[in-house]
Amino acid sequence: MDFRDLGRRRLGRTEMPVSPIGLGGAHLGRVEGERFDERQAVATVHRALELGVNLIDTSPMYGPSERFIGVALREWQAAGGRREDLVISSKSGFVERGVMDYSAEWTRRSIQRSLARLGTDYLDVALVHDPSDLDPVTAPGGALEALEEMNATGTIRAIGLGVRNQPLHLRAVRSGHFDVSLTHCDFNLIDRSAAEELLPAAVEHDVGVLNGAAVMLGLLSGDDPRAAAPGLGGFASPQRMARAVAFWEWAQERGVSLLAVNLQFCLRERRIASTLVGARNPTEIDADIAAVTAELPADTWDDLRAVGAG
């Protein structure tokens, strides 16, 4: 199957058509540790676009990610690509390491800086990034005030929230002020908590859902999750590790790719518009798209139910 055969999905009431897999920019061009390679990042973006990915998500928090994407987009457009065919998402709130600001003043400044780095006149989606409370965001003089102003002028096309906290997502969805929810580590083989309340609420209010970190920081990448665990600290809890290892062993016994099973499991959930994959290089985006389009045994999903998913 060709990835393009999977078509596009509607991003809630924004009506934007997005590819069911999007490119996440958190590790774009990462070589080792905190080192990044611009040409590797640009090649990764180009490869994703060539394969049919049209959604790219980034943030000022992700090091040089916005700048790398901007270089890639300029080159892509110079070669005939059209900006209007893409959905570009970035975030506001981050000031510098350890410092976040959810004021209207900073939000305006942050979005303008993102636009300059990305080399675009508008953002398709502007997400408020990782607030611990929505009160500073929605209060007079808060980020939402600035985002709604920019939405009215066309500087941004949709307003969203990017955070893991499910109660905050529910509050945002039900408020009527947010068009998109980007949750992460909450819908995959290990953790399906987004399906409990967020996905039903998003459908009710016609909010588009983006599914981030679906490989659970490497636990569901297809390699033995025990190799990834030492670098994940408390995230690799005994409960997560037990489930990750069980799924990995299940995949090994059946000779299937755990990455393929996990990503296709995510795509089977039609209430999710797009699942984001955080590729560092072209090889990784190739592997992700190959996993999504791989043919799996017909009994895969029935088999999965026996180990707690499906």
Read off the pLDDT of each residue in 124-138 and give the average, rounded to a whole number.
98
| pLDDT bracket for residue 145 (50, 70, 90) | very high
CB atoms near residue 46 (< 10 Å)? 18
Distance CA 234, CA 228 (A): 12
Q: Which residues pair with 208 in a beta bridge?
A: 180
Helix residue ranges, H only, the chain: 38-51, 65-78, 104-118, 135-138, 143-153, 166-175, 198-205, 225-228, 238-254, 258-267, 282-293, 300-305
Read off the pLDDT of each residue in 58-80 and give the average, rounded to a whole number.
98
Read off the pLDDT of each residue in 101-122 and give the average, rounded to a whole number.
98
Take residue 128 and report the two structure tokens written for it.
Answer: 């408020």
- Are the beta carbons of 300 and 261 closer than 8 angstroms? yes
pLDDT at 255: 95
| pLDDT bracket for residue 309 (50, 70, 90) | low
| pLDDT bracket for residue 144 (50, 70, 90) | very high
Catalytic residue among 22, 49, 55, 62: 62
Distance CA 130, CA 120 (A): 24
pLDDT at 33: 80
pLDDT at 308: 62
Q: What's the CATH fold of domain 3-223+259-305?
A: TIM Barrel (3.20.20)
Read off the pLDDT of each residue in 242-267 and give the average, rounded to a whole number.
96
Take residue 190 and report the two structure tokens written for it.
Answer: 């290990």
Question: Mean pLDDT across the chain, nearest whole number?
Answer: 96
pLDDT at 307: 67
pLDDT at 310: 55
Is 9 in a helix, a strand, or coil?
strand
Take residue 210 and report the two structure tokens written for it.
Answer: 């983006």
Which pLDDT tens digit goes with each residue over 147-175? 999 999 999 999 999 999 999 999 999 99
Distance CA 144, CA 126 (A): 10
| pLDDT bracket for residue 121 (50, 70, 90) | very high
Checking if the pLDDT of 34 tops 90, the result is no
Q: Is 122 a catalytic residue?
A: no
* Closest-CA residue to 172 (of 152, 142, 192): 142
Give counts: helices (H), strands (E), the chain.
12, 14
Distance CA 144, CA 178 (A): 9
pLDDT at 32: 85
pLDDT at 63: 95
Residues 6+ apart with CB under 8 A from 298: none
> What's the predicted TM-score (pTM) here?
0.96
List the chain domain ranges.
3-223+259-305
- Are the beta carbons of 164 and 185 closer than 8 angstroms? yes
The percent of the chain in helix, strand and coil, each rounded to the nearest 5, is 45, 15, 35
Checking if the pLDDT of 303 tops 70, the result is yes
* Closest-CA residue to 170 (of 195, 201, 194, 143): 201
